Structure formats: C-alpha cells, structure tokens
Amino acid sequence: MDGWMRHQSGMTLVELMVTLVVLSIVIGIAIPSFRGMVLNNRITSQVNTISGTIAFARSSASKSPGASVSLCASSNGSSCSDSAKWENGWIVFKDIDGDAVVDADDEVLRVSSGLSGGNTLRVLGFSGADSAISFDAEGMPRLPAGGSAAGTFIVCDERGAGSASALVVSGAGQVRTVRDGNDHAGNTVSCP
C-alpha cells in the first residue's frame, strides 16, 4: 500500500504559467527603470570628471605664477582641436604665453580621452571661446578684453536637454552643477 500513496512535489502547468507572467511583468517594469538609472549615472560620472578637470586646471594655474593654464578640446591629446565638440577629448596644459594654443614651450598636464556612451559635451560662454578656457594664477577664468568669464559645460545624452547636466563656472572661477535646464546666463540649455 505504501507504493500507492506517493506525494508528488513540483509545479503544475498553471502555476508555472502564472509565475512566468508575473516575472515578465516585473522585468518589463524594471528594465526601463534600470536603463534610466544607468544613463543618469553615466552623465553624473562624466560631469564629475569634467568638474575634477576644471579644479585641476585652476589648481595648476595657482601653482604657475606668470603663466596661465588652459583647457581645450583635443582629439589627439597633444594639441587643441579648435572644435566645439569636446566629447572627443580634452587636455589641460600650462600655457606659458597665454595664447590658448599648445606651443613648444607649453606642457600638457592632463589628457582626457572623452565621453563614452555617445554623450556630447559643449561649452557656452567664456566670451565665445568654445575651443579653450584659460585660468590665471589666481584660479580665475582669463578673458579677452571686455569679455565674459562665466561659462557652462553641458553634457547631453540621447534623451536630450531634459536629462542634460551642466557645470556652470562663475566669473570668479567657482563651479556648480545644475540640472535645472539653465546655463550660466539663465538661458535654457540645449543639446545638439
């Protein structure tokens, strides 16, 4: 008689189907949220890298009396590219003659290979100097005669301006992160 009274364990087909439906609903909700979190973290990391680069340039300038330190877009890591497309990379260099161009006497201090994930980096302000920003020995943005020292670094991803993050550099050289959609002049941030 013991052979007739076996207890079977496992799932019925209906229980398995219900489990799969619940699992697919949970995955359908979680994946878009996870993707958004990954994109937000990428932008935050990139903005932090740029902020650190600006702090490094200001600090290096304060250690270089008589010379300025410049930050410019660079795709090759040794010269400025004179491009508004900073996402391809940038360099920080000791600019002995203050011309915002890497000359034979200048020293490249830091090289960045650029942004990942197809994100863009644009610079606004700084008297229209989209290709180079210079800091003097007091850590202040150096400007052409009568120009504006304030500017904004804007990082965008595929989601556009609504998800962009920006670093605003004041005329005194102070840096703050903004996600409210406005640049250094209070204008709405736009993405390419």
pTM metric for this prediction: 0.80
For residue 85, give every residue at least 6 positions away whose Cβ sits within 8 Å of its Cβ, in sequence order, or none: 73, 120, 121, 122
CA 164 to chain centre: 9
The domains found in the chain, sorted by start residue, are 15-116+127-146 (3.55.40)
Q: Are strands 107-112 and 120-125 parallel, antiparallel or unpaired?
A: unpaired
The confidence score (pLDDT) of residue 3 equals 56
User: pLDDT per residue over 17-44, tens digit each?
Assistant: 888 999 888 888 877 778 888 999 999 9
Instruction: Specify the pLDDT at position 192.
Output: 80
Q: How confident is the model at residue 2 (pLDDT cuts 50, 70, 90)?
A: low
- Mean pLDDT, range 63-91, rounded to an integer: 89
**What pLDDT was estimated at residue 7?**
67
> Could you give the CA distance from residue 185 to residue 152 in angstroms, rounded to a whole number?
9
Cα-trace Rg, the chain: 25
Amino acid 58 reads R
Percent of the chain with pLDDT over 70: 90
